[in-house]
């Protein structure tokens, strides 16, 4: 087993200077000196071993990648602050993800709910149509099921276009009221 060389007895300030010069031994020394402390600190906050390991590794990767720009006076405090910041971002990100997932129903649930609501709506409309007087019923069906214009309905039934429009307006108001009493279906009209 290969043993990594480390700087024993070298203070943090000197290690940071050596790290800025891309000294891998300085980096390894910093890692072995503080990785366990950072891991324990993060485990107390996050209580997830894998997430903590990843967070600590990310801190050291960032430290190596940004070594030439480092201006650290207190290495341990800096690393603890960095891991605290990383954990805070992880927690916020995790909460946002959970909130979003709670708001978005699964596709299967959504389709099933929509199908059930649509069936209920169709049944309610069918029940309402059954209560209409014959002429109002005929006008409504020609308009909504056969998609005829008011003029076409009037021509077929021998009524004026205005009479057809008025009859549909009255019927739709009654339908809206009927559905409103049943539930919130009036939103869809």
For residue 154, give the nearest of 146, 133, 162 by alpha carbon. 162
Any idea which residue has 């000294």 for tokens? 23
Query: Is it the case that residue 144 has pLDDT exceeding 90?
Result: no
Going by CATH, does the domain composed of 107-188 fall within 1.10.10.10? yes
* pLDDT at residue 186 in the model: 43
Give the confidence band of 76 by pLDDT, cuts at 50, 70, 90.
very high
Under 8 Å between Cβ of 159 and 153: yes
Q: Compute the distance between CA of residue 170 and CA of residue 187 in angstroms, rounded to an integer.
A: 17
pLDDT above 90: residue 138: yes
Mean pLDDT (whole number) for 109-122: 70
Domain ranges of the chain: 12-103, 107-188
Task: Give pLDDT tens digits for 161-172.
Answer: 999 999 988 988
CATH topology of domain 12-103: Rna Polymerase Sigma Factor; Chain: A (1.10.1740)
- The proportion of the chain whose per-residue pLDDT surpasses 70, expressed as a percent, equals 87
Tokens coding 165: 């429009």
Longest dimension (CA), the chain: 105
pTM, entire model: 0.53
Are the C-beta atoms of 124 and 178 separated by less than 8 Å?
Answer: yes
């Amino acid at each position: 087993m290969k043993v990594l060389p480390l700087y024993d007895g070298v203070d943090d300030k000197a290690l940071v200077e050596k790290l800025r010069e891309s000294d891998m031994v300085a980096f390894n020394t910093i890692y072995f000196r503080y990785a366990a402390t950072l891991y324990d600190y993060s485990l107390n906050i996050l209580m997830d071993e894998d997430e903590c390991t990843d967070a600590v590794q990310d801190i050291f990767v960032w430290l190596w990648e940004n070594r030439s720009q480092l201006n650290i006076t207190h290495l341990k405090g800096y690393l603890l602050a960095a891991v605290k910041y990383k954990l805070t971002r992880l927690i916020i990100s995790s909460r946002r993800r959970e909130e979003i997932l709670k708001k978005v129903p699964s596709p299967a649930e959504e389709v099933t709910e929509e199908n059930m609501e649509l069936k209920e709506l169709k049944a309610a409309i069918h029940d309402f149509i059954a209560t209409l007087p014959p002429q109002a019923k005929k006008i409504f069906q020609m308009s909504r099921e056969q998609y005829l214009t008011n003029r076409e309905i009037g021509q077929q039934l021998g009524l004026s276009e205005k009479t057809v429009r008025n009859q549909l307006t009255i019927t739709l108001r009654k339908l809206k009221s009927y559905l409103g009493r049943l539930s919130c279906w009036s939103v869809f009209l």
